[in-house]
Structure formats: C-alpha cells, structure tokens
A and B are shown apart, each in its own frame.
Chain A
Amino acid sequence: AQTIHQWPVAEIKAVGSPLSLGCTIKGKSSPNLYWYWQATGGTLQQLFYSITVGQVESVVQLNLSASRPKDDQFILSTEKLLLSHSGFYLCAWSRDNANTEVFFGKGTRLTVV
C-alpha cells in the first residue's frame, strides 16, 4: 500500500525567515506529485506539480519554490516567509495517467507571525 508522509506537522515561523516543508511517498514508483495550499477558510489551490524527478512546474506564483530531488520526495521552500504564506499545505500524489484520484497527505499547518 502507498503511504504519504509530510513533515513537519505544524510550524510557527517569523516573517522573513526561511521555510522548508517535505513530503515522501512510499509504495509507488514515479508518482505524480503536487503541492496544494489552503488558506484559512479558503479553497484548495494547487501550487506545483511534478511528473518526474528534477522537473517541477509552477501553477501559481506565491513566492514559493518546489523541488523533487528524488523520485519519492517533494520539497516546498522559500527563503523569506510572508504573512500571507500562513495556511495549510498539502502534499499529494496520483498515478501517472490522467484523471485518477489524487491522494492527499495529512498536511502541514503553517503560521507566520
């Protein structure tokens, strides 16, 4: 069975500080990987997606970046956090064909102060 693990579970960070969120998927080779963001009371917004190692596509510009250093790992980061970055970050994966189910991780709750 496939499992998706996100870390950390929660973070409180100061404005201007760096951020790194991680995600690993086990049990599935070459998954499609995604980062989603959910502002408090807001909808789910896809930020990035990756079809293969080393390739990441940006969907929305939020002064964040993403990388896929390994087949099973997806990293979301920024060098300088903004207050507007607060929210719930969800890593997700899907199989490599279109329109299959997207499976979400448990998420990281980020509070920028």
Chain B
Amino acid sequence: GDSVTQTEGLVTLTEGLPVMLNCTYQTIYSNPFLFWYVQHLNESPRLLLKSFTDNKRTEHQGFHATLHKSSSSFHLQKSSAQLSDSALYYCALSDQQVVGQLTFGRGTRLQVYA
C-alpha cells in the first residue's frame, strides 16, 4: 500500500532561520496528489499546501514545496521561521484511487524559539 515518510519527529529552530521538513512517499500509482497539513496545539489539522504537478513549486503563507516524482519527494520549506510556525506538520498522499483517502506521514513537530 501507499506510505509517507517524514524522517524528523521534531525540528527545533531559532526564529529567522530557514525551515525544511522532509517528506518522501511510496505509491504504485503514477499520479499522486501530495498535501501538507498543519496542526497547531489543540486545533484540528488544516491544509497548508497541495500539489499534483511534477516539478512545479506551490506556495502558501510563506511556505513552499515542489513535488519531485523522480525522487518521490515533497519537502516543505520556508525561508525564515516565525514563532507562530510552531506546530505539527503532516505530509499526506492521495493516490486518487479512493475519493478523499489520504495516507498521512507520522508528522513532524516544528518548534521555533526566539
């Protein structure tokens, strides 16, 4: 079945430094849809980014990610971390076989310090 790997469980950063959260995936289907969800403390997850197009950068709220099918990756980046970015970030995959069926990674907690 599908799988999503987020290698870092916790990333700690000083405010102002760049952010990079890793996400790789495995699926036998050739047209996956990749998502990044963010979950702040005591809140529900909400969509941050999504992409379907190979090698095209997608951006939202200062974050960006590029789907690279050649390396099965969809890393999340931001040029300068803010304290308010502290949250749990989930990478998720849809292989488009079942509507709305998402496979989530284990999540990466980003902690930004002043």
Contacts and interface: CB of A to CB of B under 8 A. Distances in A.
A98 B94 contact: yes
A99 B50 CA distance: 9
B61 interface: no
Contacts, number: 54
A43 B45 contact: no
Interface string B28-61: 0000010100000001111100101000000000
A44 B90 contact: yes
B104 interface: yes
A49 B100 contact: yes
Nearest to A42: B106
A90 interface: yes
A98 B99 contact: yes
A52 B70 CA distance: 37
A44 B36 CA distance: 13
A72 B51 CA distance: 29
Contacts of B43: 106
A74 interface: no
Interface of B: 33, 35, 43-47, 50, 52, 90, 92, 94, 96, 98-102, 104-107
Interface of A: 32, 34, 42-46, 49, 51, 59, 90, 94, 96-99, 101-107
